[in-house]
Amino acid sequence: MSWDDKLLKQAKKIIKLYPQKRSALGPLLHLAQSKDGYISDDSITVISELVGITEVQVKSVSTFYSMYKQEPTGKYLLSVCKSISCEINNSSEVINKVQEFTGLNNNETDEEELFTFEAVECIGACGGAPAVQVNYETVEGVTPENAINLCKWLKDTKPDVVVADEMQENFGGIKSFDWAIQDNSGATSTAPGFQTLKTTKAKK
């Protein structure tokens, strides 16, 4: 096994939460992704040994869910919603502009490993369509022009932490609803921030 002791300890703690080891598969994949930013072959092997199922079974779950990444992403994962509410609010033009700016096709990463682009299904912000996520931090009501401004800002300033509220204020439009508590945490990586390895932190 090539996970270090700290990670293995975390994994065993997670496994203990479930009556059957294999039920811990999802959280263990999150753990693997927070380690590397994607699910490596090595992690597939480690997880299969930890929970006592085949590597193919682990792989079949990790490839079923699009938020488990099968290869490294760029520093900023740009996810633009293409589902119906966003589509009727001009998301195809937002997608065009993001692709134009980054030069990327769907699920591609640029050579500098700055951007990965993906057109995704509904991200739960239909009321604020069209919606975009950067490292899973959501911005609503994004116009094609502001999609370019957002990409430019990311490229020029390369923030270590992307915060939904900050991006919403600068590049968003109509929000779906008042979120009440201001979200001042942010994403420090493209691995979804489940905080297993403290992948989110408070903004100073």
Residues forming contacts to ligand FES in the complex (CB under 6 A) are 81, 83-86, 122-126, 129, 131
| Shortest reach from residue 124's CB to ligand FES, in Å | 6
Q: What are the angstrom distances between the C-alpha of 77 and each of 173, 184, 199? A: 20, 19, 15
CB of 120: closest distance to ligand FES in angstroms?
Answer: 9
**Cβ distance to ligand FES smaller for residue 67 or 161:** 67
In the numeric block, which tokens belong to residue 55?
Answer: 């590597």
**Cβ 10 to ligand FES, closest distance in Å?**
32
- For ligand FES, give the closer residue by CB, 128 or 193: 128
Query: CA 194, 74, 179: angle at the middle one, nearest 5?
Result: 45
Choice between 114 and 122, CB closer to ligand FES:
122
Helix/strand number for the chain, H first, E second: 8, 7
Nearer to ligand FES, 40 or 90 (CB): 90
- The nearest distance, CB 201 to ligand FES, in angstroms, is 26
Burial state string for 75-104 with b = 16 or more CB within 10 A and e = fewer than 16: bbbbbbbbbebbeebebbebbebbbebbeb
